[in-house]
Amino acid sequence: MTGQDATLGMDFMVPAGIRLDLTDGTFCLPDEVRIQLSGRRTLYGEHASAVRLEEVEVIEAGQKIEMPLRFKPSEKLWLTRGEHWIPTVVKGAGWRRYLQLTNISDRTRCLPAHTQVGM
């Protein structure tokens, strides 16, 4: 919105379906189009790599699955929560770390391959 000034109150934005994402300095329109806020840098660079599921994962209601993380301990990891699952980092033996996904719904959930769970 370069060259444009707009003051939108939450009374307007919420009913219109507009969401502010202050983590990366964008606002998201109802059709999931993201617009960068003026004068704001993203918190993560363009070199951030996504952590995605390698295969389809089926998680029973209230159950957990674990998968090994391939990150160095010095690297930062940002997790992405889903509507029906919560990610957690679990320490293993030595430097090993695992990503644990917990199904918080009351039904079995199927997470498709390539679902982004972090970055």
Query: Please, are residues 5 and 41 in contact by the beta-carbon 8 Å criterion?
Result: no
Q: Among candidates 74, 88, 84, which has minimal Cα distance to 118?
A: 88
Structure tokens at 7: 């003051």
**Per-residue confidence (pLDDT) for residue 119, from 0 to 100:** 76
12 conformational bin, left if phi > 0, alpha if psi -120 to 50, beta if neither: alpha
At 28-46, the pLDDT tens digits run 888 878 777 776 565 555 6
Domain ranges of the chain: 1-43, 51-118
For residue 117, the SS3 value is strand
- Tell me if 38 sits within 8 A of 92, measured CB to CB: no
Whole-angstrom Cα distance, residue 41 to residue 26? 10
Whole-model pTM?
0.58
* Predicted confidence (pLDDT) per residue in 61-98, tens digit: 999 999 888 777 667 777 878 888 888 888 888 888 88
51-118: in CATH 2.70.40.10: yes
